[in-house]
């Protein structure tokens, strides 16, 4: 056993709080990855001072220690052995969720699923808000223009189950395209529109299963059914991949996945969700009549939580009934403050962000919420962090209670927040009630977020797959020898594809160039070829990383994909082994970039100069980000 390795491993183990503090342990080609029971036991300064450690940082729940190629494998083995060997959990990714409370896990999963679709929801949400304003003020539009505007406004929300199913299938380890198919099944045009069913304009499809009478409608705009269906689909697909022979995988696995998940979704998951909707509607009818404003407090504090499930459209039936019987809609007055509360919470969260890019993203998500479309604010900001969502619900509860006390009511339905003002213009008292409701919502939710929530601290806890910035401290502890003057360094691209700016690499260690001079390429072919002549000195067991000692005096790490260590070698075929002599352009590894993407990973190829034993400074060529490169393109040279 190497005494230096043993010393490093023991020091790391001691400075992370001992083996009892380890919840799960893993590693990639350069970093030791640990999740811990108590983060406060980490002595970060001591870890940074350990010889051999090149940096450390937190990425969400995961603590990562940068060690470099080769050393990380040895240290991992030693730490694993010292921590209990086979008794230690090595499923580092699964453990991240396991350590969360149920509410935190639910909000985190929803955040992970919704982050990729938020830009679409923000854009169409703004369209929806503008159309709501136009309709609310009675401005007439040309029918053709209105049709086009409606398409722009509603497409993302009507097909929301498709977006959720695509992103959710990817998140849960299934094939994203199967998620798209399952989502499309839930919004198939052959299914009756639920809003029309609620208004009595269409009838649900009646289906009898084992004596149970089931009512089936479209799930357009819903969240919960799509989420449950993709959980089923992803787990069915993963089970089939373990059981079905490789020769039959292409036909049997997708067929049975769609059959099982699709039928369960349409015949059981969907109807069960409808039963839950009816229970919520019945409860709302009772609650709205409670005295002393209690009905408003309950409805205002829960309605936006129901939006998360996508079941909020059921309240159209309640609002229609109220308007038909009394001419007024107190339900609207009880929920409109909750909408403004979500908008305000997202806005204040964004304004408190120090990072300009994130500040712009979060504040823009609030704009559509002020116009009545809260999904971008909820899923993109508030629910992502948790506390802003809870604080906004508090604002909704207070404003709903005030609406109940004031006996406030709207004369319309389907429009709230700023556009809803026109439905309160029937009297001066109604206008005053409208202003008081919204002002109270903004003061409560905005005040709570401003004084009791720091988004900058929370942002630091977001996991690497969400591509958020992480704080990295690099330490240069190795004196590098130099070779005689005059050494020439010329390094070609290891793969054909498109150059990517290093600050766009979705991994903080590579993006910050902690391990050395770095370039990144989005590949368009499967073959990874030698960028130089030299010797293979390292090949990861998972085949996703290879180390080369070049004849020109540099050591190179080629890392294939982001977080692809989790694939455990699947979709990678090595053509060389450690100790092999290689010439420039020899094929090193073949990777299936299409399958890697389908598995939910980025196949980006990252090449790093981990050691330069020449006296020449190595620089990236002047090829701009976005430039096409091939195996003859020099990307690093002296």
Q: Which of 67-76, 344-353, 397-406, 619-628 has the lowest mean pLDDT?
A: 619-628
330 lies in the same domain as 465: yes
Angle between helices 224-243 and 270-287 (to 10 degrees): 160
Beta strands, E only, 440-579: 473-474, 490-492, 497-500, 518-523, 527-529, 534-539, 545-550, 554-562, 572-574
pLDDT for 36 equals 84
Q: Quick one: pLDDT band at residue 630, thresholds 50, 70, 90?
A: confident
Triad 110, 390, 60: Cα angle to 5°: 50
The residue-averaged pLDDT of 203-226 equals 78
Q: What does DSSP assign to residue 608?
A: E
The residue-averaged pLDDT of 33-40 equals 85
390 lies in the same domain as 464: yes
Q: From 72, 99, 126, give the residue that closes a domain.
A: 99
465 lies in the same domain as 490: no
Distance CA 540, CA 256 (A): 35
Q: Kindly state the tokens that stand for 326.
A: 């009394």
Q: What tens digit of pLDDT does each residue of 255-273 get?
A: 999 999 999 988 888 888 7
Q: Is residue 28 part of a domain?
A: yes
DSSP-derived 3-state class of residue 345: helix
pLDDT for 244 equals 86
How many angstroms separate the Cα of 281 from the Cα of each of 294, 316, 332, 338?
17, 10, 14, 18
Please write down the HEC assignment for all residues of 99-135: CCCHHHHHHHHHHHHHHHHHHHHHHHHHHHHHHHHHH
Distance CA 111, CA 458 (A): 13
Report, in this order, helix, strand and coil percent for the chain, each rounded to 5: 55, 15, 30
pLDDT for 135 equals 67
pLDDT for 86 equals 63
Closest CA to 115 of 345, 385, 471, 303: 385
Distance CA 526, CA 543 (A): 14
Q: Is residue 121 part of a domain?
A: no
485 lies in the same domain as 458: no
Q: Is residue 157 part of a domain?
A: no
Q: What tens digit of pLDDT does each residue of 222-235 get?
A: 777 888 899 999 98
Q: What does DSSP assign to residue 531?
A: S
pLDDT for 488 equals 59
Q: What tens digit of pLDDT does each residue of 50-62 get?
A: 888 877 777 666 7
pLDDT for 486 equals 46
Contact of 342 with 335, CB cutoff 8 Å = no
Most confident of 78-92, 357-371, 428-442: 428-442
Q: Quick one: pLDDT band at residue 445, thresholds 50, 70, 90?
A: very high
The residue-averaged pLDDT of 458-464 equals 60
pLDDT for 483 equals 40
What sign results for the dihedral spanned by CA atoms 60, 65, 69, 70? negative
Q: Is residue 173 part of a domain?
A: no
Q: Quick one: pLDDT band at residue 469, thresholds 50, 70, 90?
A: very low
Contact of 618 with 517, CB cutoff 8 Å = yes
Q: Half-sphere exposure of residue 289, counting CA atoms within 13 Å on the CB side?
A: 6
488 lies in the same domain as 456: no
Q: Is residue 172 part of a domain?
A: no
Q: Which residues form the domain of 332?
A: 288-469
Contact of 258 with 221, CB cutoff 8 Å = no
The answer to whether residue 481 scores a pLDDT higher than 50 is no
The residue-averaged pLDDT of 186-213 equals 79
Contact of 409 with 312, CB cutoff 8 Å = no
Contact of 499 with 479, CB cutoff 8 Å = no
Triad 218, 287, 125: Cα angle to 5°: 45
553 Cβ neighbours under 8 A, 6+ residues apart: 483, 487, 489, 612, 613, 614
Q: How many domains does the chain have?
A: 3
Closest CA to 344 of 449, 421, 455: 449
- Maximum Cα interatomic distance, the chain, rounded to a whole number of Å: 93
The residue-averaged pLDDT of 541-564 equals 88
The order of strands in the sheet holding 22-27 is 22-27, 31-36, 62-66, 55-59, 473-474
Q: Quick one: pLDDT band at residue 440, thresholds 50, 70, 90?
A: very high
Most confident of 287-291, 358-362, 605-609: 605-609
CATH value at residue 51: 3.30.1360.60
The residue-averaged pLDDT of 198-216 equals 76
Helices (H), 115-269: 118-136, 143-158, 160-171, 176-186, 194-198, 224-243, 249-264
The residue-averaged pLDDT of 356-381 equals 82
The answer to whether residue 462 scores a pLDDT higher than 60 is no
66 lies in the same domain as 86: yes
Contact of 399 with 340, CB cutoff 8 Å = yes
DSSP-derived 3-state class of residue 457: helix
Q: How many CB atoms lie within 10 A of CB 488?
A: 10
355 lies in the same domain as 325: yes
The answer to whether residue 616 scores a pLDDT higher than 50 is yes
Most confident of 80-84, 321-325, 412-416, 558-562: 558-562
358 lies in the same domain as 483: no
Q: Kindly state the tokens that stand for 164.
A: 């959720």
Closest CA to 405 of 372, 433, 438, 385: 433
Contact of 627 with 634, CB cutoff 8 Å = no
504 lies in the same domain as 590: yes
Q: Kindly state the tokens that stand for 163.
A: 């977006």
Q: Catalytic site residue 273?
A: no
The residue-averaged pLDDT of 332-342 equals 94
Strands 31-36 and 62-66, how do they pair? Answer: antiparallel
Closest CA to 375 of 128, 148, 135, 149: 128
Give the rounded percent of residues in the chain with a pLDDT score beyond 90: 24
The answer to whether residue 119 scores a pLDDT higher than 80 is no
Q: Is residue 252 part of a domain?
A: no
Distance CA 442, CA 170 (A): 36
Strands 572-574 and 587-591, how do they pair? Answer: antiparallel
pLDDT for 473 equals 32
627 lies in the same domain as 554: yes
The answer to whether residue 188 scores a pLDDT higher than 70 is yes
406 lies in the same domain as 529: no
Q: What tens digit of pLDDT does each residue of 274-294 get?
A: 777 778 778 888 888 898 999
Contact of 539 with 578, CB cutoff 8 Å = yes
DSSP for 551-590, please give it: TTSEEEEEEEEESGGGGTTTTEEES--TT-EE-TT-EEEE
Q: Is residue 617 part of a domain?
A: yes
| More confident of the two residues 392 and 26 | 392
pLDDT for 402 equals 96
Q: Quick one: pLDDT band at residue 214, thresholds 50, 70, 90?
A: confident
Contact of 430 with 327, CB cutoff 8 Å = no
Q: Is residue 366 part of a domain?
A: yes
448 lies in the same domain as 515: no
Triad 536, 537, 539: Cα angle to 5°: 80
Q: From 44, 67, 99, give the residue that closes a domain.
A: 99
Q: Which of 189-193, 582-586, 596-600, 617-621 has the lowest mean pLDDT?
A: 617-621
Closest CA to 376 of 308, 438, 309: 308
The answer to whether residue 391 scores a pLDDT higher than 80 is yes
Give the rounded percent of residues in the chain with a pLDDT score beyond 70: 82
Q: From 443, 469, 495, give the residue that closes a domain.
A: 469
What are φ and ψ of residue 60, in 5° steps? 65, -130
| More confident of the two residues 550 and 514 | 550
Distance CA 347, CA 342 (A): 9
173 Cβ neighbours under 8 A, 6+ residues apart: 234, 238, 599, 600
The residue-averaged pLDDT of 14-19 equals 89
Mean pLDDT of all residues belonging to the chain: 81
CATH value at residue 589: 2.70.70.10
Per the listing, tokens 């639920």 go with: 194
The residue-averaged pLDDT of 605-620 equals 74
How many angstroms separate the Cα of 516 from the Cα of each of 32, 389, 469, 531, 543?
18, 41, 19, 16, 21
Distance CA 93, CA 464 (A): 11
The answer to whether residue 413 scores a pLDDT higher than 80 is no
């Amino acid at each position: 056993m190497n005494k230096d390795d043993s010393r490093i491993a023991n020091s790391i183990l001691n400075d992370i709080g001992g083996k009892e503090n380890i919840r799960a342990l893993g590693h990639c080609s350069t970093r030791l990855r640990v999740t811990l029971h108590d983060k406060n036991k980490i002595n970060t300064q001591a870890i940074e001072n350990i010889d051999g450690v090149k940096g450390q940082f937190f990425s969400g729940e995961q603590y990562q220690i940068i060690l470099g190629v080769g050393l990380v494998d040895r240290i991992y083995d030693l730490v694993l052995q010292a921590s209990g060997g086979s008794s230690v959990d090595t499923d580092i990714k699964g453990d991240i969720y396991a350590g969360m409370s149920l509410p935190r896990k639910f909000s985190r999963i929803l955040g992970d699923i919704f982050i990729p679709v938020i830009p679409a929801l923000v854009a169409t949400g703004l369209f929806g808000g503008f159309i709501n304003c136009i309709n609310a003020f009675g401005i007439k539009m040309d029918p053709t223009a209105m049709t086009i505007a409606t398409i722009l406004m509603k497409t993302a929300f009507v097909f929301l189950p498709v977006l959720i199913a695509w992103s959710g299938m990817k998140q849960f380890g299934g094939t994203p395209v199967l998620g798209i198919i399952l989502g499309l099944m839930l919004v198939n045009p052959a299914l009756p529109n639920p809003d029309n069913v609620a208004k009595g304009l269409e009838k649900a499809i009646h289906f009898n299963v084992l004596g149970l009478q089931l009512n089936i409608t479209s799930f357009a705009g819903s969240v919960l059914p799509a989420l449950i269906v993709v959980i089923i689909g992803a787990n069915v697909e993963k089970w089939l991949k373990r059981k079905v022979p490789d020769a039959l995988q292409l036909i049997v696995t997708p067929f049975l996945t769609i059959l099982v998940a699709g039928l369960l979704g349409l015949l059981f998951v969907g109807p069960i969700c409808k039963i839950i909707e009816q229970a919520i509607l019945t409860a709302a009818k009772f609650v709205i009549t409670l005295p002393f404003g209690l009905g408003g407090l309950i409805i205002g504090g829960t309605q936006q939580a129901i939006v998360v499930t996508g079941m909020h459209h059921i309240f159209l039936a309640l609002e229609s009934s109220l308007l038909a019987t009394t001419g007024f809609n107190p339900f609207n007055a009880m929920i409109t403050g909750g909408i403004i509360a979500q908008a305000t919470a997202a806005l204040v969260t964004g304004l408190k962000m120090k990072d300009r890019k994130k500040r712009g993203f979060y504040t823009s998500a609030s704009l559509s919420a002020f116009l009545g479309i809260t999904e971008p604010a909820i899923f993109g900001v508030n629910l992502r962090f948790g506390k802003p969502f809870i604080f906004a619900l508090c604002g909704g509860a207070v404003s709903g209670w005030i609406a109940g006390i004031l006996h406030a009511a709207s004369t319309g339905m389907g429009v709230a927040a700023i556009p809803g003002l026109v439905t309160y213009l029937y009297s001066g008292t109604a206008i005053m009630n409208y202003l008081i409701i919204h002002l109270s919502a903004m003061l409560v939710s905005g005040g709570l977020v401003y004084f009791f929530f720091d988004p900058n601290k929370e942002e630091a806890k977001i996991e690497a797959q969400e591509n958020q910035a992480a704080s990295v401290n690099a330490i240069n502890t190795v004196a590098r020898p130099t070779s005689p003057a005059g050494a020439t360094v010329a390094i070609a691209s290891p793969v054909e594809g498109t150059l990517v700016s290093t600050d766009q690499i979705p991994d903080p260690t590579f993006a910050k160039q902690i391990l050395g001079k770095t370039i990144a390429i989005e590949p368009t072919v499967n073959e990874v070829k030698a960028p130089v002549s030299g010797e293979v000195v390292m090949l990861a067991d998972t085949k996703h990383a290879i180390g080369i000692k070049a004849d020109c005096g540099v050591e190179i790490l080629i890392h294939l994909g982001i977080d692809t260590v989790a694939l455990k070698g699947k979709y990678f075929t090595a053509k060389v082994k450690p100790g092999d002599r290689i010439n420039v352009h020899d094929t090193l590894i073949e990777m299936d970039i299409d399958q890697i993407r389908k598995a939910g990973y980025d196949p980006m190829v990252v090449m790093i100069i981990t050691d330069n034993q020449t006296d020449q400074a190595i620089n990236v060529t002047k090829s701009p980000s976005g430039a096409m490169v091939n195996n003859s393109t020099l990307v690093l040279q002296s």
